Each structure stands twice: as C-alpha cells, then as structure tokens.
Amino acid sequence: MGQPLFLIPELHNKIWGGTALGTFFDFKLASDHVGEAWVISAHPNGVDKIGNGQYNNQTLADVWHHHKELFGGSKAEKFPLLVKFLDAKEDLSIQVHPDDDYAKVHAHELGKTECWYILDAKPNAKIYFGHNAQTKTELATMIKNKAWDKLFREVPVKAGEFYYIPAGTVHALGAGVLALEVQQSSDTTYRIYDFDRVDQTTGKLRELHLADAINVINVPSKEQAVLPITEKIAANTKTLLADEKYFNVIKWDIEQQAQKFTQNPDTYTLAVIISGNGMLTIDNQRYELVKGQALILPSNVHEWTIDGGLTVVFSQPK
C-alpha cells in the first residue's frame, strides 16, 4: 500500500527576509529574517527530511537514491525539482539563472527555470521581470554604467497571479511579496544588482556576478506569458498554471466536495497546501492536510481523494 511522503521544511535566513512565513503559514521561525522555506527539496544546500511512515526521518535525497521505485523508476541522478515559499520583506537582488548547459559547466548542477504563484502582495508591490537592452553590447554598457532605471522592467503584482521564468530571464521579487516557487533543483544565482546592501557577516557589499550574468541573460528579453486555463469540475476548480519543459503546475480549489485524483505508475506528484485545510485519503487511510504543508505522492500511490476546503498546488517533473 502506497503512502504519501510528508516533508519537513528547511528554513533559510536571507538579508531580505522577514517574518511572514511565520504569520502566513505558522512556521516556527528562529529569526526575523527568514526569506525562504524549502518545503520539497533534495538539494544539498537544504535537504528536507520525511516526517512520516516507513521513511520517517530519512532525507528526501537518500530516499530518492535508494528507492527509485517510488519515483517511477526515474533514471535522473538528482531529484529534479525544488519547491519553496519566499517572503520578500525587502527587494531581492535583481538576478538571473543559467540554463542546463551553462550550469553544468560553470556550477556543476542543473540550470534553473522557475515559476512564481503570488500568494500575497502588499499595496503597490511589484516584481522585476525582464530588461530593455536590445543587444549584448547594450546590456553590458547599461550594467557598467549602472543604468538600472533604464535597464530593468518593473511589473505591479497582486495575489493570485502566476509568472513563468525560464533560465536567462532577469527577475526579482519586490518588497511586500509572498510567493510559492516551483523550480528546477538548483541554487545557482547570478546577481546583477543588490541595492548596494552590506553583508553584515563581512561588512562588505554583497558579491555580484556580472560576467556570468551577462553571459546567460537572454537578449533581447523574452518574458513568456502563460495564460492559466481554468476548468470547473462540479464544485471544485482546476487551473492549469503551466505545462512547460521541466514541470507542470496545477492549482486545485476544493470546495467541500471530495475530489479524486489518479496518476500513472511512471510518475509522481508534488503537492503543497497554500490555503485552508482538509483530508487526504489513500486506500482508506486518512491524512490531515493543513496550510503550508508539502508532500509527495509517490508512484505507488495510484489514486487518492482530497476533501475539505483548501487550495492545493500540484506539480510533476517532465
């Protein structure tokens, strides 16, 4: 009988982080600068442990390496995705991530294509998304001259919006934004501009990575519009947010009517509860679901049912 794998999140302090992950999700924070909760991760910079069942207290990385039968017999060396919550109390550094080819050579890991679902946004909140340079030469010149106002594009945001961010896209969350991020399992970031912030541990400005950034930034900018596709299924609502190269992302709003799900034995499903609470049923076994919780439905779970009043975001690797 298959069981879900409930993950214990890894929390990361960030210079731009705050306390919203504690108030929004009731995570237990050890500081007032928590910027990220890695809720489904086998990445070495923040490996989650499993908190239930047969694999209780084992890391997701270990279970991935030793029990590929739970993951559709995947041939991939590394667990392919990473899911996190981000609390931007202040602007993140304006940054870019490499694609697989560049990251393999220069960072010895996967590239980083990602996406954001905006969970909360204060009035007048924004993101940085794209740039205005038309050639690599113009890009390098604008960076050298610190022409930030001319270079970066700013987009106002509100809760419920979705953004797909392929590798090579200039981007950053702005202050006052809380987001769910689904991404390739990578932690390689090239900072372009960091608002001249000082790292309190060194007393120096935080490092920038301008040469690598210029190498990997898409020119001209290619922000990719993704239009959600919404379908009403009885009392519940299914929204396809993305079905792209590395993953799909599907949001389900479940309104007090039990919803049945199935998956093929050659895949597995990541799930995050972003609001409400409910119950998960697998083979007549019931599991409580609460806001902020993250889990994996391994490939030996062929069907499951969720009921209650909650919103769940599912993702599957490609």
C-alpha to C-alpha distance for 92 and 153, rounded to whole angstroms: 14
Written as one string, the DSSP assignment of 238-275 is EEEEEE-SSEEEEEEEEESS-EEEE--TT--EEEEEEE
Contacts of 223 (CB under 8 A, 6+ apart): 129, 130, 153, 169
Torsions phi, psi of 124, nearest 5? 70, 15
Residue of 153, 191, 197, 206 marked catalytic: 191
Of residues 26, 62, 27, the one with CA closest to residue 44: 62
Q: Is 191 an annotated catalytic residue? A: yes
Pick out the residues of the known binding site: 97, 114, 171
- Give dist(CA 147, CA 188) in Å, integer: 25
End-to-end CA distance of the chain: 25
Tracing tokens 């609390």 back to the chain, one arrives at 87
Residue with tokens 């924004």: 126
Torsion angle, alpha carbons of 132, 213, 208, 96, to 10: 70
Show binding-site residues for Zn(2+): 97, 114, 171
Gap between the Cα atoms of 295 and 171, Å rounded: 28
Please tell me the total number of residues recorded for the chain in this structure.
318
Q: Cα torsion at 19, 293, 7, 175 (round to 10°)?
A: -30
Compute CA 316 distance to the chain's CA centroid, rounded to the nearest angstrom. 13
Q: What is residue 25's three-state secondary structure? A: helix
Name the residues annotated as catalytic: 191
